[in-house]
Amino acid sequence: MTVKPDSRRLRSAARFYAVQALFQMEAAGQGVDSVRREFEDHRIAAIHDGEESADADIAHFRRLLDDAVSSQGWIDQLTDRALVEKWPIARIDPTLRALFRAAGAELHMGETPPKVVINEFVELARAFFPEGREARFVNAVLDHMAREVRPEAF
């Protein structure tokens, strides 16, 4: 008997793929539609070299991408306010920029408690930067962003 992955893991995977997709969009100058198609057709739950990649909540992946793209200006301004003055969003690592955009989109959507959003994206920062201090940085920035977007939750 095969046990289906729980919805929490599927949503976590959707966040991971959304960060990767947003990074790819910026790095390669690709549009959201082509990147979404690529991820849904060739990356999410795909088999490469005999290894299967994680399945994901496709609807959540799509919502994150769509909101991150449609609200990017607002999310980038929100992120800039959370960063120190000497480090505007344009100067930070592109992976972190993609992470902040995906997290900002999820905070903006308002479906997930802010503390869950923060914890999920801090874990992603640890996955992307296992040797660095980025996870603490991400935690601080996202906490600031969440308090601005959803102050009633704190």
How does pLDDT run across 93-149, given as a tens digit for each residue?
Answer: 999 999 999 999 999 999 999 999 999 999 999 999 999 899 999 999 999 999 999
Cα separations (Å) of 1 from 4, 7, 9? 10, 18, 19
Give the pLDDT score at 13. Answer: 96
Domain parsing of the chain, residue ranges: 8-153
Of 12, 9, 7, nearest to 121 by C-alpha is 12
pTM: 0.92
Query: Which residues lie closer than 8 Å to 5 by C-beta, 6 or more apart?
Result: 54, 55
For the domain 8-153, what is the CATH code? 1.10.940.10
